[in-house]
Chain A
Amino acid sequence: AQSVTQLDSQVPVFEEAPVELRCNYSSSVSVYLFWYVQYPNQGLQLLLKYLSGSTLVESINGFEAEFNKSQTSFHLRKPSVHISDTAEYFCAVSDRDSGNTPLVFGKGTRLSVIA
């Protein structure tokens, strides 16, 4: 069964600095990968996803993630963060060849952007 490791539980970063939130999954089989964001006191929202094709995927608010099959990673990056990016970020994975199995989520990384 898949598992997801988010290596950092908390990441503080100054406004306008770059950030990387790390995510590794356990199996090298074909996968679908997702990043979800949870703003304070709100539900989870889909941020971006990798299904196939280009290994670099982007969101509408400047985040990007790169699928690396050899390292079983899907790290999330942003070159310049804003205060409004303060939130908890969850990485999730699903095995492509196991049918529509439920997503397996990591424990989350709390990003705190400091003015």
Chain B
Amino acid sequence: GAGVSQSPSNKVTEKGKDVELRCDPISGHTALYWYRQSLGQGLEFLIYFQGNSAPDKSGLPSDRFSAERTGGSVSTLTIQRTQQEDSAVYLCASSLTFVGYGYTFGSGTRLTVV
């Protein structure tokens, strides 16, 4: 596609439920990143996929968070047993292999845990 597509754009869920957030990167981009944006906190790195390499999971805040990337394309971020502090905008970005090209971001998924 022409850009990075994320779905859903908004998600309201009850505390304790599981949620799945989807990211469809730009075709041909080998790298895919998930960040979390909370009010006043900037962008917090969560996880990074590069080609067929093992993902860099160093930013995941707890074991309730996981992500996968199927076929080197679409990625799903899963949050299990959601908590109110998980409420944030979850941003996906993709890029070519070289970080110097910069990232293309999706519009994000706004997650609200009630």
A: which residues have CB within 8 A of B?
Answer: 6, 9, 32, 34, 36, 42-46, 49, 51, 90, 92, 94, 100-108
Question: Which of B19-27, B37-45, B72-80 interfaces with chain A?
Answer: B37-45
Nearest to B89 among chain A residues (CB) is: A43
Contact A107 B40 (CB under 8 A): yes
B: which residues have CB within 8 A of A?
Answer: 4, 31, 33, 35, 40-43, 45, 48, 50, 56, 59, 91, 93, 97-100, 102-108
Contact A100 B50 (CB under 8 A): yes
5 closest A-B pairs by beta carbon, nearest first, are A107-B42, A105-B43, A44-B105, A46-B102, A43-B107
| CB-contact partner of B105 in A6, A43, A102, A106, under 8 A | A43
Contact B33 A105 (CB under 8 A): no
Contacts A/B (CB < 8 Å), 13 sampled: A43-B107, A46-B102, A46-B104, A49-B100, A51-B100, A92-B43, A100-B31, A100-B97, A102-B48, A102-B59, A103-B45, A104-B45, A105-B43
CB distance from B95 to the nearest CB of A (A): 8
Known: A44-B105, A100-B50, A100-B98. 4 other contacts (CB 8 A): A46-B103, A90-B43, A94-B99, A100-B31
Contact B99 A100 (CB under 8 A): yes
Nearest to B30 among chain A residues (CB) is: A100
Cα distance, A107 to B44, chains bound together (Å): 9
In the assembled complex, which residues on chain A have CB atoms less than 8 Å from the CB atom of B33?
A: 102-103
In the assembled complex, which residues on chain A have CB atoms less than 8 Å from the CB atom of B4?
A: 43
